[in-house]
Amino acid sequence: MEMFEQALPENWRPVIRLVLSIVSWIPDVQNALLTYAVYGNNPVVRGLKIVFLLLPFLLFIVGVWVTMLSVYTYLFRPRRNTYVSTVFIMWWDSIRSIWLFWVGAVQFLWLSIGWFWGMLRVIVGVMVDLFRQIVYYPFVFTKDLATRYFRPGVPWVAIIMTLFWILFEAMIFTYVLSPTIFEVLSNLVGIETHTFLSPMLFIFLSVLIGGSFACIYWLGEAVKKKDIVQIVSMLIWELCVVVVEILFLYRDLVDAITPWIAQQTGDQVQLGLTGTILIAGFAWVGIRAMTWFLFARYGIAVIIAIIARQELGHGTVADEAHEVKPINWIRHILDTFKSETEWFHDKGKEILESLALPALQIVAAGINFLMVFITSKPIFSLPFKKIEDVMETQELL
């Protein structure tokens, strides 16, 4: 300003100083306000001052400039009374916008706390519900399993026990027969090590023992049907099976415990061939009878039906209808959040409006000051009540 005065003639300076006195004080006030709003010793305080004071101070500075510059243009404006009234209304809108800006900041903080509290409530509710389902699920599953098992259907327990017994018996006979088989093969081929012999022997014995149960099953079916021809044929086949299992399986099992019997009796009991075969025969009958009447007669029938790809029988549909559905945790979480979608949407919109509208109202008030100075009419209708109002402007003529 002083440099501008120095460039003028000496006799013009008092007049120019009088004319510029209307706005000459504004730059000093402007610098003081902006310095106070931007600078500070504490970073937290400086940040709070920038957030809460910078926009109101800028609006005040724009309003002061427009008001003071309007003094120069007042005499040249039409409808001067209306213009003055409009400027006063702009100041009222500015004061109200600044107040709503500060209130909106508090509202934004409060709504954010409520939104996060609602989110935390939903998350905790989902976690508690999932924990409750995880804790209760074993009991519900056990109850449903027991209910379904005691209804007519596939005897899965008998099937599992039958398969387990077949594999268990095959494992025992594999252990008992392995030395004898190794010795025989070594004498035949001249090789002492047989890496894959034990797994192959185990598979062979599993099929053999399963076939033994199958022969007993078909013999029983023939007896039920009273088919004499089939009964006689199955008795012949069963006799062959008994002879094979006693001579090649159970006899070796009895031979394995013969030294223990002789040791316990002081060599007074010596089992000959007849005694060994008799004990092996009784062992076969006892083991087959116990396993057959306990579970094998129920399990082997289903196993044969599965091998033959036959219908397992009625009751499986009912079992499937009452099957316990697994807990779909992701679906449960999505359904829970979906039920709260409307609440989160409304709260999110309120948070957005509380964050954006106060700042936009101050900007709109500053633009209104400039538009009033240029066109004598504001462009925005303040205050904004919702975010859609920002897009609505008055028509400029």
- Residue-wise pLDDT tens digits, 249-303: 887 777 777 777 777 776 666 667 777 888 888 888 888 899 988 888 888 888 8
Average confidence (pLDDT) over 322-345: 61
The answer to whether 259 touches 276, Cβ cutoff 8 Å, is no
Q: In this predicted structure, what is the pLDDT of residue 145?
A: 64
Predicted local distance difference test score (pLDDT) of residue 194: 63
The one-letter amino acid at 231: I
| Residues 119-145 as b or e (16 or more Cβ within 10 Å = b) | eeebeeebeeeeeeeeeeeeeeeeeee
Residue 205 tokens read as: 């014995």
One-letter identity of residue 248: F
Of 365, 219, 367, 362, which is closest to residue 296 (Cα–Cα)? 219
pLDDT band at 13 (very low <50, low <70, confident <90, very high): low
Please give the DSSP secondary-structure letter assigned to residue 247.
Answer: I
Distance CA 319, CA 95 (A): 74
Q: What is the mean pLDDT of residues 309-335?
A: 55
Task: Report yes or no on whether pTM surpasses 0.75.
Answer: no
Kindly state the helix (H) or strand (E) to which residue 179 belongs, with its residue range: helix 156-189
pLDDT in tens, 239-258: 888 888 888 788 777 777 77
Residues 6+ apart with CB under 8 A from 281: 242, 246, 250
Q: pLDDT confidence of 339, banded at 50, 70, 90?
A: low
**Which range, 126-130, 205-209, 323-327, 329-333, is most confident?**
205-209
At 34-91, the pLDDT tens digits run 888 888 788 888 888 888 888 899 999 999 998 888 888 887 788 888 888 888 998 9
Average pLDDT estimate for 111-126: 79
Q: What is the pLDDT of residue 14?
A: 67
pLDDT score, position 343: 67
Least Cα distance to 89 among 353, 378, 388 occurs for: 378
Greatest mean pLDDT among 159-173, 218-232, 383-397: 159-173
